[in-house]
Amino acid sequence: MLTLCAWIFAGCNGQEDESAISSDSMVQTTADMNPNSARNEGRDDALSEQASSFTFPDDWDRQHPILSPNAKVEAYLGSLAEKEIVFHPADGGGRAWLVAQTSIDTQWQASDWRRADGPSHREDPSPPVPVSTAQKIELVFEVGPLGIREGGILYVMPEPFWSWSEAQAETPYLVGYTTATARLADVELVPMVGGGIFRVEGRALEPGEQIDIVLGAGSMGTIVDEFAGREAEILVAVDADGDGTRRWIEKSARLHIGARAGTRIIALGPADVAPGSSIELNIAIVDERGNRALWPDHIREPNANDDRVDLRGDRRVASEFEIDVIQGPSLEMLGLNPRVELDGPAADAHRIRFTAPNTPDTIRLVIRGRGALADFESVVNPIVVRNSKTRLIWADLHGHTGLSDGTGTPEDYFRYAREIARLDAIALTDHDHWGVRPIDEFHEIADRILTTSERFHDPGRFVTIPGYEWTSWLHGHRHVLYFDEDVAQTPIYSSIDPATDRPDELWDALRGRNALTFAHHSAGEPVATNWFFPPDPLLEPLTEISSIHGMSEADDVPIPVAGAIPGNFVRDVLLRGARLGFIGSGDSHDGHPGLAKLAAGDQGGLAGIFTTSLDRKGLLGAMRARHTFATNGIRPWLSVSIDATAMGGGLAVSSTAPANHRLHIRYEATAPILRIDLIRSGRVALIDGDGALSLDFERIIPPLVPGDFHYVRIIQEGGGVAWSSPIFADRAELEIAPNAGSPDN
């Protein structure tokens, strides 16, 4: 069993992320989880190591009769115990700032920097450091107003998620070697085993004394994160009295990490448009890990063998491209030239504007670079030109930043979604209680997320949806989204608050609000959904079936979610009577919303939504009607209907006079279609895709009976997958909710 210090950041020395979580056994009931029971006497010892006092809730068995089949009870107990810790008043006192950064890697352009002397320069930003490079990072820690006792402990740790090298104070010739040196000779910071940990010896440290800390002090330096982002934190914690409980300082040293040289371009357009309307293509450049890169200077020789990183994002550059038609209207009909030169700041995406034809069609283009961008190529997503009251938009409704267990700032996150991934709608869902500073306790962090979301919100062009992730290690994770246009606040109903630590309690708290919840990675790791609590029909009409964790639709998917549990897939829940539409979303932690698949082996998630208006009200209505489909990160165009009922809707069927139905599928692929799976109440019929790019398919299917559901799964070459939301069969004599009508009419 994991000890408590592996779960709570007040006492954790190692690096933890969701994917690293493990459990000793599968659990279905909670009787054997009560540490107050005789058979769990040993577990109290782990709790008492960190918490000054901890009492297991008296009504535990009644409140949580059944848990997720792979519940991480240690994490839940750790979070409760963490709240009981009594800190010394001086714990977490002090501040730190960056003073210098020196490149160790000789293969990359040097980005050495040293801060000007004087306190007035402590907040000056440092220039970006290339991702995944070896660096020597120097900072100063200033002791807080209550000092640090002799025997107190200082902890140094880079961001505990993703790919920083770990700090260690034992071996100078290994990566991550860290030193801490007092400026006065009568006190020493003695290294301890297990990380960048130092004990104060000789005397107490007085308020205002300064300690010089070097991360990467040895010849190997320290390796910074592989994902770009501003405000990457070098964490410093203070255990002022040496009792084993530490607290992270609030004002810490932060580093700006930038991309390497660009290795690919990404060209994206709208999913569909009206005939004759204006179209804008977005062309961005990223490095090999999907980080936002800078455009190279056009005067470089083509194919030059130069991987140095140019960090000057404010310079202007010109880039040359060729445009070819794969299918659809000619370049002349679109008003496009076969060669274009675009210019602008090196940090900005390029844009190409043209006009859609006056008749329905599908536009398929490929963009190729020239000059310094030779051999760079991107196939644009299919753009459907059609007459309709609705528009298909692309959304990523689930992702994280460095404010919980991800990378970068909220500003980085929204800019990437808008300018690199060219999303229409985005939600930032940092965890309620997971990370160094949980947002259910640090309200200023929650306020920053909301304020940033509102600043980027631009109805009609780019919709941001405020939210957070309800991180229940007992019943599965859900993200919560709020859809009011004027959002004064977004309450954080915490997964460790006894009043809202069950799904039904969360829904009760949200009732009456314009809000939705979404279960995700529901079939497996890091924690599966506890379907014992049926999804609330108004607040949870959709479920996320694809993300970086894998696919939770059914056990016959190409990439099942990690640690998949038989019987816990979404299709199993549909067979038990649930009504859930489908979305995908990235669950990105790398700062790449909308393009999480770039760094996750081409496995991610996106939501296709047919909406009458690109604003929060329109999206809420579309999602409640389940007019959605899911992908694993690709951007095809998909519409499915049975008779006149669109995907997600209720189809009236007669149990006394059954009749055949007409199934209609329209699909515009991003790669040749391998097969189409027709899925009816768990039974699967396969149709060969014949390598087509376009599918406009009608088929007479046998009568559906009340209680049936029917959806489509399409599999492409290269691993792309798309799922329509199910259509649900209802008795004809019952009143059907007004969500019928195909979104492509």
pLDDT per position as a tens digit, 82-121: 888 899 999 999 999 999 999 987 666 667 888 776 544 4
Which homologous superfamily does the CATH classification assign to the domain defined by 264-388?
Answer: Immunoglobulins (2.60.40.10)
Helix (H) or strand (E) holding 185: none
Q: Judge whether residue 501 has pLDDT over 80.
A: yes
pLDDT band at 127 (very low <50, low <70, confident <90, very high): confident
pLDDT at 201: 97
CB 692 within 8 A of CB 670: no
Q: Which range has the top average pLDDT, 122-126, 339-343, 378-382, 436-440?
A: 378-382
The pLDDT tens digits of the residues spanning 523-563 come to 999 999 999 999 999 999 999 999 999 999 999 999 999 99
What are the tokens at 610? 């047919």
Q: Judge whether residue 513 has pLDDT over 60.
A: yes
Distance from C-alpha of 121 to C-alpha of 123, rounded to nearest angstrom:
6
Tell me the CATH number for domain 637-737: 2.60.40.10
Secondary structure class of 192 (helix, strand, coil): strand
Q: Is 42 exposed, middle or buried (0-12, 13-18, 19+ CB in 10 A)?
A: exposed
Distance from C-alpha of 284 to C-alpha of 305, rounded to nearest angstrom:
21
pLDDT at 313: 56
pLDDT band at 312 (very low <50, low <70, confident <90, very high): low
Distance from C-alpha of 322 to C-alpha of 325, rounded to nearest angstrom:
10
pLDDT at 58: 78
pLDDT at 567: 96
Q: Judge whether residue 38 has pLDDT over 50.
A: no
From 427, 453, 402, select the one nearest 232 (Cα to Cα).
Answer: 402
pLDDT at 120: 44
pLDDT band at 701 (very low <50, low <70, confident <90, very high): very high
Specify the range with the lowest mean pLDDT, choosing from 295-304, 437-446, 530-539.
295-304
What are the tokens at 386? 């059609």
pLDDT at 50: 43
| Mean residue pLDDT across the chain | 88
CB 293 within 8 A of CB 287: yes
CB 394 within 8 A of CB 320: no
pLDDT band at 656 (very low <50, low <70, confident <90, very high): confident
Q: Judge whether residue 143 has pLDDT over 80.
A: yes
Domain ranges across the chain: 4-84, 95-258, 264-388, 392-635, 637-737
pLDDT band at 297 (very low <50, low <70, confident <90, very high): confident
Burial 167-194, CB ≥16 within 10 A → b, else e: bbbeeeeebbbbbbebeeeebbbebbee
Secondary structure class of 32 (helix, strand, coil): helix
The pLDDT tens digits of the residues spanning 577-590 come to 999 999 999 999 99
Beta bridge partners of 668: 637, 694
Distance from C-alpha of 671 to C-alpha of 480, rounded to nearest angstrom:
33
pLDDT band at 153 (very low <50, low <70, confident <90, very high): very high
Specify the range with the lowest mean pLDDT, choosing from 422-426, 434-438, 543-547.
434-438
Specify the range with the lowest mean pLDDT, choosing from 86-90, 597-601, 626-630, 733-737.
733-737
pLDDT at 587: 96
CB 305 within 8 A of CB 291: no
CB 605 within 8 A of CB 544: yes
How does DSSP assign 502-560, residue by residue? SHHHHHHHHTTSSEEEEE-STTSSS----TTSPPPTTT--EEEEEETTEE-S-TTSSSB
pLDDT at 31: 37
Distance from C-alpha of 246 to C-alpha of 254, rounded to nearest angstrom:
20
pLDDT at 188: 96
Q: Which long-range contacts (CB under 8 A, 24 or more apart) does 412-416 make?
A: 412/228, 412/229, 412/230, 412/591, 413/591, 413/593, 414/452, 414/453, 414/456, 414/464, 415/456, 416/292, 416/591, 416/592, 416/593, 416/594, 416/595
pLDDT at 737: 47
pLDDT at 278: 96
The pLDDT tens digits of the residues spanning 186-221 come to 999 999 998 999 999 999 999 999 999 999 999 999
Which homologous superfamily does the CATH classification assign to the domain defined by 392-635?
Answer: Metal-dependent hydrolases (3.20.20.140)
Q: How many helices (H) and strands (E) does the chain have?
A: 9, 42
Q: Judge whether residue 635 has pLDDT over 70.
A: yes
pLDDT at 12: 36
Secondary structure class of 153 (helix, strand, coil): strand
Please count the other Cβ atoms lying within 10 Å of the Cβ belonging to residue 14: 12
- Amino acid making up residue 162: W
pLDDT at 110: 62
Specify the range with the lowest mean pLDDT, choosing from 472-486, 488-502, 600-614, 729-743.
729-743
3-state DSSP percent of the chain in helix, strand and coil, to 5: 15, 35, 50
Tell me the CATH number for domain 95-258: 2.60.40
pLDDT at 735: 37
Asked if the domains at 392-635 and 637-737 fall in one CATH topology, the answer is: no
Beta bridge partners of 267: 283
pLDDT band at 46 (very low <50, low <70, confident <90, very high): very low
pLDDT at 405: 93
pLDDT band at 21 (very low <50, low <70, confident <90, very high): very low
Q: Judge whether residue 29 has pLDDT over 70.
A: no
Segments of 311-424 assigned E as strands: 316-327, 339-345, 350-355, 361-370, 377-379, 383-385, 391-396
Q: Specify the pairing of strand 229-239 against strand 247-248.
A: antiparallel
Helix (H) or strand (E) holding 615: none
Radius of gyration of the chain (CA): 27
